[in-house]
């Protein structure tokens, strides 16, 4: 029996490559980013990482 390994690099890739979907509100997008970040070990600087991800991932530049 093998327990699944938490691959931090793959999880961070998913987090950093996640873009806001066309039908997704900003609130929903933030919730998805929070969920994805849970396995990325970004707790110590989460607000900075979230800010950077929002800047590069939102569809509507007027938000």
Domain count, the chain: 1
When pLDDT is cut at 50, 70 and 90, the band that residue 49 belongs to is confident
Which structural domain, as residue segments, surrounds residue 47?
A: 8-57
Residue 1 lies in a domain: no
Q: Report how far apart the first and last C-alpha atoms of the chain are (Å, whole number).
A: 48
Residue 30 lies in a domain: yes
Residue 44 lies in a domain: yes
Quick one: average pLDDT of 6-10? 76
Give the position of tokens 């066309």: 22
CA 6, CA 19: separation in Å to the nearest integer? 22
**In degrees rounded to 5, what are phi and psi of residue 22?**
-60, -35
Residue 2 lies in a domain: no
Q: According to DSSP H, which parts of the chain are helical?
A: 8-17, 26-37, 46-57
Q: Which of 2-6, 15-19, 36-40, 46-50 has the highest mean pLDDT?
A: 15-19
């Amino acid at each position: 029996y093998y327990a699944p390994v938490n691959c931090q690099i793959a999880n961070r890739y998913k987090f950093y490559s996640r873009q806001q979907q066309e039908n997704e509100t900003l609130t929903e997008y933030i919730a998805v980013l929070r969920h994805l970040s849970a396995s990325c070990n970004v707790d110590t600087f989460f607000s900075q990482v979230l800010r950077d991800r929002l800047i590069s991932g939102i569809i509507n530049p007027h938000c």
